Chains A and B, each alone.
Chain A
Amino acid sequence: MQRFSYVFLGAMCVVFLFPMYAALMVSISSRESILRYGYQLFPSQFSLEAYRLLFTEYGVSLLRAIVLTVGTGIVQPLFTVFLCMLMAYPLSQDDFRGRKFWRVFLVVTMLFSGGIVPSYILKTRFLHLQDTVMIFLIPTVSAWSIFLFRVFYINIEKAIVESARIDGANRLQIVLRIMLPLTKPLVAMEFFSGFLARWNDINIPLYYIRNRNLYTVQFMLQEMIRSAERAKALLEAGLSTSFNAQEIPIESTRFALAVIGAVPALILFPFLQKYYAKGISIGSTKG
């Protein structure tokens, strides 16, 4: 049984890593080798022209997308986590009246939602957030996160909070100076998860963004992968110098962008893996 596990899981690992490997290989294949042999797992001819194209000629558009995605990916989760912590604290304190009411308030949001259309109408017709940066910054507070924070807060010894209270700290300070450091793993996990969610998300650009200047990196990738024609149009529109259309290594460029799109996931992944294991064992107890 044990040997079987080793072998089987080992094979699984190859399978799991394969797509990333394939994308990487194609992205460093030369245009000629793709034309002649198709996508190869080991290119017959190497070339970094795709990356060169992306970072120099197309650099402005790509940089804009990266700045936008990273910027919103940092601000929005910060905002969200802050709001979650603020709401979780009163819910964890015994002297807060109406705890039960707000708990139901949150559980309802977990069960039922209005659906995508009313949300869409709200954000476009009433709030006019389409094609703006603000649409990316809407906090995505979730009942689940708040409950998770609440569990952590409950487990913090009351004595610590009490002594801070006696020392004259107001509630906000308690949250920031005491709770935050003590729940650092959870805060980190929520923040990095939030960043990754922003980075990987294509729903918001799909529904709300038409302006090319506000494309996120993943959405740009999605447009490029969808069809070669669209990829060409996108590239040509963003090139800073006049580039011979025949020469654009479209194929490898698409996958170079895919590799770039996967980079944050790969970087953040080790951190998140640690916290996920912890968070899950906490989250599986009834909140």
Chain B
Amino acid sequence: MKTRNLPQTLTAKESFLSRLKLQGGYYLMILPAVMCFLLFNYAPMIGVYMGFTDYKPARGIFGSRFVGLAHFRQFFGSVDFVRVFRNTLLYSIARIALVNLLTGMIFALLLYEIRSKLANKIYHTCMLLPAFLAWTVISAALLIILHPDKGLLNVLLKSMGLEAVSWYREARYWPAIITLCQIYKFAGMASIYFYSALLSIDTELFAAARLDGANRLQQIRYISLPAMSRVFCITLIMQLGSVLTTSISPFYELTFNQTQLYETTQVLGTYIFNGLGGGRYSFMTAVGLVQSLIGVILVLTANGVVSRIDPDSAMF
């Protein structure tokens, strides 16, 4: 017969030991993940110190000469700074405003109008698909459209008697091109968040509004939009943190990292990457630190503001 160990009253020492075993077991479980975080998240935070020194690989991180804020001053005073900062900021604003908020909401609202479940599924699927494609694949498709000789756009222009445009040579087209690609990739995902907010609306409200004489647009304005406000705030806060830390993939890949397009396409991320190639480690560390710090400040500020207005919408 199997005997079971039933909990008995323990002495102080025994209960202390068993508590230790309990906690110890838990700590053993979190150990691997914690080590990963320490190594790959917290250790680089200490490495930020490189931004304040004249890092020479031979001297190591802490052996290099301390230069204080020299790199920061150099960065803010440089010609690059204005261009890179401006581009990063503008693209991020465009991304947040157009991609996530505007198109996300519009798609969600439109999707909500669809009655047929089949159509809903089809539309949903098509909208989400681009999010899973790599930027490489998207840049390949873009090449098909924008190629100077063989591209669809130029062939179309020539057949209409117009001049072909050298898309990959002119910097001024790219803000629009990249932003459109961002919309293409992320609008579907963004709309899911808003759509699920819409799903939680009590349909009685719409019936009541119709009785009161509201047309569809008014119903949207007074019922649907407020329901999405919470998602709006959370999305905004989350996106603000990454305003300066744009992923380099779209900017590097869509433009094939061509220098003549840098005027409008170089962002902080690609700037740092190119600097890495040139070995400007400490300088680029300082730049990266600026990115992270501003991100933190923005997130906490936005969160603070939102939590004053509507505590449920805040993240922290």
Contact = CB atoms under 8 A, between A and B. Distances in A.
Interface of A: 1-2, 4-6, 8-10, 12-13, 15-20, 22-23, 26, 34, 37-39, 41, 83-84, 86-87, 89-91, 93, 95-98, 102, 105-107, 109, 111-122, 125, 138-139, 141, 146, 166, 168, 170-172, 175, 196, 199-203, 206-207, 218-219, 221-222, 225-227, 251, 254-255, 258, 261-262, 265-266, 268-270, 272-273, 276-277, 280-281, 284, 286
Contacts of B179: none
B151 interface: yes
B313 to A, nearest CB: 10
Interface of B, secondary structure class, is helix
Given A111-B299, A112-B45, A281-B196, A272 B26 contact: no
Given A2-B114, A9-B114, A122-B43, A171 B137 contact: no
B209 interface: no
B50 A118 contact: yes
A172 B137 CA distance: 41
Contacts of B196: 277, 280-281, 284
B103 to A, nearest CB: 10
B253 A113 contact: no
B134 A116 contact: no
Nearest to B41: A109
Contacts of B135: 200, 202
B147 A139 contact: no
Given A13-B122, A23-B140, A203-B248, A115 B289 contact: yes
Most B CB atoms within 10 A — which of A4, A9, A114, A207?
A: A114
Contact of A87 (B30, B130, B276, B316): B30
B115 A2 contact: yes
A178 to B, nearest CB: 14
A113 B111 contact: no
Nearest to B7: A166
Contacts of B133: 19-20, 200, 262, 265
Given A16-B126, A86-B30, A262-B137, A121 B281 contact: yes
A95 B22 contact: yes
Contacts of B234: 284
B110 interface: yes
Interface in B142-186: 142-145, 147, 149-152, 154-155, 184
Contacts of B137: 19-20, 23, 218, 221, 258, 261-262, 265
B114 A5 contact: yes
B113 A39 contact: no
Contacts of B22: 95
B113 A207 contact: no
B29 A138 contact: no
A12 B26 contact: no
B315 interface: yes
A13 B126 contact: yes
A112 B111 CA distance: 36
A218 B134 contact: yes
A203 B33 contact: no
Given A26-B144, A118-B50, A19 B272 contact: no
Contacts, number: 278
B144 A5 contact: no
A139 B35 CA distance: 11
A83 B256 contact: no
Given A26-B144, A118-B44, A96 B23 contact: yes
A5 B111 contact: yes
Most A CB atoms within 10 A — which of B111, B115, B140, B197?
A: B140
Contacts of A175: 29
B134 A265 contact: yes
8 contacts: A1-B113, A13-B127, A16-B126, A39-B150, A117-B285, A202-B249, A273-B128, A284-B197
Contacts of A166: 4
B284 A117 contact: yes
A3 to B, nearest CB: 9
Given A39-B150, A112-B45, A284-B231, A202 B291 contact: no
A146 B32 CA distance: 13
Contacts of B295: 111-112
B216 A118 contact: no
A219 B134 CA distance: 10
B223 interface: no
Interface string B116-136: 000100111111111011111
Contacts of A107: 316
B33 A202 contact: no
Interface string B185-196: 000100011001
A105 to B, nearest CB: 7
Contacts of A281: 196
Contact of B34 (A20, A38, A87): A87
A90 B45 contact: no
Most B CB atoms within 10 A — which of A22, A117, A221?
A: A117
Contacts of B273: 116, 206-207
